[in-house]
Structure 1
Amino acid sequence: MAFADNLKNLPSAAHLAAIDLLDAAGECVATIENKPGQAGSLTLYAAMAAKHGAITPAAAQEALALYAEHTEDARLHPGKHPNIDRLLTLLAQGQTLSVRQHAA
């Protein structure tokens, strides 16, 4: 399935303005906002955090599958899809990021 189709099967993130991704020290390493160009990633990251309790290596693996065609594009063009690049790095390094939500 394509990424757009996969998004239809995830819970809505309309209640969120943004999420912060926090490293093991609690420092914010990234923010994903609910705006054009990021709303799909916000929905996907929020769903993975709800399912896995954080963005764990298992969550990253599942998210990469759901990003579908964009995952291969990210592998071929590092930097083009920073939210996917982050998942690839987490998976390779076995890291986990916690998620802090900001209500809309």
Structure 2
Amino acid sequence: MAFAENLKQLPKVSHLAAIRLLDADGNEVAVIENKPGQAGSLAVYNHLAQTFGAITPDAARKGLEIYAEHTVDAQANPGKHPNIDRLAALVVEGGTLRVKHMFAVD
């Protein structure tokens, strides 16, 4: 299935402003915001965190499946899709990223 179709199956993220990704020492390694160009990644990472409890290597493998054709593009163009590159690195190198949800305020 294509990424756009996969996104339709994921929980909505309108209640989120962003997700902060933290390494094992609690250092922030990335922020994925709820804005154009990042909202799809926010939905993917949110789903992975809900399903796996954190972004683990198993979660990362599932994330790469969800990104579908974008994963192939990321492999061919390192640096073009940093949120996919991060998942690919976790699969290869191991490790876990904790997720801190930043909720939208009305």
TM-score range, shorter chain: over 0.9
Partner of 2:32: 32
Deviation at 1:64, TM superposition (A): 0.1
Q: Distance in 1 between matches of 2:42 and 2:32?
A: 6
CA offset digits 1:47-73 (Å, max 9, x no partner):
000000000001000000010000010
Q: Look up the equivalent residue of 1:37 and give its one-letter code.
A: G
Partner of 1:58: 58
Q: Distance in 2 between matches of 1:12 and 1:57?
A: 23
Following TM superposition, the consecutive aligned residue runs of length 4 or more in structure 1 with deviations greater than 4 angstroms are: none
Q: Look up the equivalent residue of 1:27 and give its one-letter code.
A: N
Consecutive unaligned residues of structure 1, counting only runs of 5 or more, are: none
The SS at the match of 1:18 is strand
Consecutive unaligned residues of structure 2, counting only runs of 5 or more, are: none
Partner of 1:85: 85
Q: Distance in 2 between matches of 1:10 and 1:4?
A: 10
The SS at the match of 1:11 is coil
The number of residue pairs the alignment matches comes to: 104
Deviation at 1:95, TM superposition (A): 1.0
User: TM-score, normalization: structure 1?
Assistant: 0.99
**In angstroms, what is the RMSD of aligned CA positions?**
0.4
Q: Distance in 2 between matches of 1:4 and 1:95?
A: 28
Matches within 5 A, 1:5-44: 5-44=5-44
Partner of 1:100: 100
Q: Distance in 2 between matches of 1:11 and 1:80?
A: 25
CA offset digits 1:61-91 (Å, max 9, x no partner):
0000010000010000000000000000111
